Structure 1
């Protein structure tokens, strides 16, 4: 488990929380896409989308729209996390994400012409296609007629923060550097860094982080107890442990004993 205080913008949890700010979200997207956007609606974190009762649900990391034209942006931070590039299935995942976005973007009886443009944006801390490009853009086109686009209004972007090719726009280079190293070098990355630090000072957010990743019955017993002790050591109260992590009275008592003795299961 990565300590909450050590999370950076490249970590999905922190990325999602920082991108909740519609102005920062807009500026990040404008930098990546190299185009001006109108004001964005309040970004939604981990928006759940499901087509059918038995269908596979997805959680979109950062889902937002342009207020002026309704254009949709789903932005995802992708790390290898000890998996191979292929194991992430990004090409087909992008297809599924875009399909789910469209299904939830048109009401019964509406014309297909009312479908707004939608964009799926993957920010990858690895090269998703192994060709060295700083950006890979995919749209639909006609194989038989060069230059004929389907104009379906869908775009898929894959950004490679490890790219070193020449000609990368400076703003993108600065953003990539910050994602890779945590070192800000311009106004945007400085503002992102400030927001990251602000989020790290939010105790309730640290509780949500523990709950999301290691709470309830999903964690192994030792990991769970370690996190109960960690929460207490960071100022959490027994009531918070009970409320946010469903800790039992016995677990709370054991966590208090371990904290007072300076021991945890992982020692």
Structure 2
């Protein structure tokens, strides 16, 4: 995906490394214009209150047109045992009549490890069975991973994995253990199928080009949403301009301009991440950094307006 700030930062103003026409709204709007539902930060912001959208995704992935969701929670944190790994789920949904659906979003840059799916499902199970409850009451659970590419690599639009006997392919018990892991590949979607239309919309930055009504509505609303007071953005941009002008007077003007522009882009992306408008992984990718490098550099910057 392209860099939402690079186009805005193409033309400078005098000695400033930041263009004169780069105001607060433009910084945010450029980032939002490029955002897609496959970018987990944007998807969480767009769908956090949209059970109808999660229903569309779950119905297509699970092949159940009657599926209804009674509730959803976004960015649900599941603590691990002391000193052990925990998890944060993009969406945790409760089904009408019982059972849970987890929806995760994964960009191609990060990939989706099968052991991660196993860990998420097992940790959710551990938090779903109160002490004294019989094992038969453990809720059914389906983990759906919407992936930008095909992490399985067999060229299918989706892959449904459940526990079966290696010897004859049969289930353990009449209904199995109630668990499933579904990997959806958004790579080369077939728009003639329900899951293909959902996959198409996951990769689409322009809501006008989306095929699924609820997803298009949610993406449009998120992109047009009031992003809040802009004063901190204006302060940030003006500060970068002033720094750029000062550095431009010094020897090594070209290096100062490049450094100022890079710092300005880092500051803009850091604020987008802090405000929940962009995932840290996406910000790091656009800046050509690892997540660790981005976190380290962003930590050196005081939040704008602080």
State the SS of the aligned residue for 1:162: coil
State the SS of the aligned residue for 1:43: strand
Decide which of 135, 138, 154 is 1:131's aligned counterpart. 154
Q: Is the 8 A contact 1:41 1:65 kept in 2?
A: yes
Decide which of 5, 29, 36 is 1:8's aligned counterpart. 36
1:75 maps to 103
Question: Compared with structure 1, are the counterparts of its residues 229 and 45 closer, same or farther at alpha carbon in structure 2 (3 Å cutoff)?
Answer: closer
Question: Compared with structure 1, are the counterparts of its residues 252 and 62 closer, same or farther at alpha carbon in structure 2 (3 Å cutoff)?
Answer: closer
Q: Is the 8 A contact 1:125 1:160 kept in 2?
A: yes
Question: Compared with structure 1, are the counterparts of its residues 181 and 106 closer, same or farther at alpha carbon in structure 2 (3 Å cutoff)?
Answer: same
Structure 1 residue 119 corresponds to structure 2 residue 142? yes
Residue 182 of structure 1 deviates from its aligned partner by 4.1
**How many angstroms apart in 1 are the aligned matches of 2:223 and 2:206?**
16
Decide which of 9, 17, 27 is 2:45's aligned counterpart. 17
Instruction: Kindly provide the CA deviation profile for residues 134-171 of structure 1, in whole angstroms up to 9, marking residues without a partner as x.
Output: 11111001123342445111100001111468xx8622
Structure 1 residue 191 corresponds to structure 2 residue 214? yes
Q: Show structure 1 runs of 5+ residues with no match.
A: 211-219, 231-244, 254-267
Q: Is the 8 A contact 2:160 2:183 kept in 1?
A: yes
What does residue range 157-176 of structure 1 map to in structure 2 within 5 Å? 157-163=182-188, 170-176=193-199
Q: TM-score, normalised by structure 1?
A: 0.70
Instruction: Kindly provide the CA deviation profile for residues 80-113 of structure 1, in whole angstroms up to 9, marking residues without a partner as x.
Output: 22x5x4xx4x210000000111011000111001
**How many angstroms apart in 2 are the aligned matches of 1:65 and 1:221?**
43
Residue 16 of structure 1 deviates from its aligned partner by 1.8
2:286 maps to none
**How many angstroms apart in 1 are the aligned matches of 2:271 and 2:123?**
40
Structure 1 residue 48 corresponds to structure 2 residue 73? no
**How many angstroms apart in 2 are the aligned matches of 1:204 and 1:185?**
21
Q: Is the 8 A contact 1:46 1:59 kept in 2?
A: yes
Instruction: Kindly provide the CA deviation profile for residues 57-76 of structure 1, in whole angstroms up to 9, marking residues without a partner as x.
Output: 110001101122x2111101
Q: Show structure 2 runs of 5+ residues with no match.
A: 5-30, 234-261, 273-298
**How many angstroms apart in 1 are the aligned matches of 2:221 and 2:101?**
25
Question: Compared with structure 1, are the counterparts of its residues 222 and 123 closer, same or farther at alpha carbon in structure 2 (3 Å cutoff)?
Answer: same
Q: TM-score, normalised by structure 2?
A: 0.61
Q: Which protein has the larger Cα radius of gyration, Structure 1 or Structure 2?
A: 2
1:154 maps to 179
**How many angstroms apart in 1 are the aligned matches of 2:83 and 2:134?**
27
State the SS of the aligned residue for 2:121: helix
**How many angstroms apart in 1 are the aligned matches of 2:207 and 2:269?**
31
State the SS of the aligned residue for 1:42: strand
State the aligned residue count.
218
**How many angstroms apart in 1 are the aligned matches of 2:212 and 2:228?**
22
**How many angstroms apart in 2 are the aligned matches of 1:95 and 1:36?**
26
Instruction: Kindly provide the CA deviation profile for residues 107-135 of structure 1, in whole angstroms up to 9, marking residues without a partner as x.
Output: 01110011010011011110111110111
Residue 187 of structure 1 deviates from its aligned partner by 8.8
1:109 maps to 132
